[in-house]
Amino acid sequence: MGRALMSGLVGAARRWRIVLLLWGVGVLFGLAFSLAAGRWLEVALDASVASRTLLKDLNANVFVDLWMHHRESLSMLLVVALVMIVVQLAFSICLNGGVAGTAYDARTAVTLSEFWRRGLRLYPVFARLWLLAMTGTVVVLAAVAGGVVLLTRWLSESPSEMTYSYVLGAGGLLAALGLVLVVAVHDHARLYVARQDVGAARAYLWALWFVLRGDLRAPWLALALLTISVVFWLVYQGLATFLPATSGGGVFASILWGEVLLQGRALLRVVAFVAQAELQAEMPS
């Protein structure tokens, strides 16, 4: 597993153009939504004191006031956000196709033209894999929620006041582990499609077997990648507390620090695909 992670880092370094591309796309969609939100604020507040306040201080009270007094016009912004989410999702499927399609052989650099070519070629199958992954997510969450409800009713006569908290905690842990497995299966299915050029259903079944039975390192690698992501997020949030958005400079610094988060996410995405591809390369088809 350590060798796979190292291969992921090496592969991501050699694919720095792809990392920058993923970051750029994230910035582009974030900027587009920021412009839409700014336009909505301009129309809703008509350059009032509150709109000028938000430029220098991201005050929660102002957002509450917007929700209470401008809820109807806020629906316009929500529609714009929904459209952008759908467009970004469609675009991200192509991007993930490019990353997965070029994830093998970490020691080889990849051109952007090859990245786009493979992403477009894999798009139809990756779209179906996304639907399968969403179905798996719903199944996991529904099963855990149902189990929590049934167990809570069964233990309703328990004299301990902590029983409900224990059940919720266990349910949350199971849900988290289930989602980690769903993400790992989804990633390995996409990599298998890129490697073997098979259909979505066959790739998903193979990935399910691979994660649960084929290679015991696969779920541990998924947990390791999740741990790295969580640690990175905690470090980001910890340092963000030293950048209070209560001045123009603070807001600007917060935005720049947010770009670091986007860059880190793009890097970890490439690392994850290359590292998991390293495991698959050792497994016969």
160-188 pLDDT per residue, tens: 777 788 888 889 999 999 999 999 999 99
User: Alpha helix (H) ranges present in 156-243?
Assistant: 163-196, 200-209, 217-240
pLDDT value for 140: 94
| Tokens linked to 215 | 């290679």
197: left (phi over 0), alpha (psi -120 to 50) or beta: left
What is the distance between the terminal CA atoms of the chain, rounded to a whole angstrom?
Answer: 20
> Would you say 100 and 122 are in contact if contact means Cβ atoms under 8 Å apart?
yes
Q: Between residues 63 and 151, which one has the greater pLDDT?
A: 151
pLDDT value for 44: 63
pLDDT value for 233: 86
pLDDT value for 276: 92
The residues spanned by each domain of the chain are 2-128+185-281
> Would you say 112 and 17 are in contact if contact means Cβ atoms under 8 Å apart?
yes
Mean pLDDT within 14-33: 86
- Give residue 9's pLDDT band: very low, low, confident or very high (50, 70, 90): confident
Q: Which of 5-14, 163-172, 197-206, 233-242 has the lowest mean pLDDT?
A: 233-242
At residue 82, φ and ψ (nearest 5 deg) are -65, -45
> Would you say 1 and 220 are in contact if contact means Cβ atoms under 8 Å apart?
yes
pLDDT value for 138: 95
Mean pLDDT within 214-242: 86
Mean pLDDT within 196-225: 90
Q: Between residues 205 and 78, which one has the greater pLDDT?
A: 205
Q: What is the mean pLDDT of the chain?
A: 82
Mean pLDDT within 74-101: 85
pTM equals 0.82
Does the structure show a pLDDT above 80 at 252?
A: no
- Give residue 50's pLDDT band: very low, low, confident or very high (50, 70, 90): low
How many alpha carbons fall within 13 Å on the CB side of residue 195? Answer: 25
Q: Which of 58-62, 118-122, 136-140, 254-258 has the lowest mean pLDDT?
A: 58-62
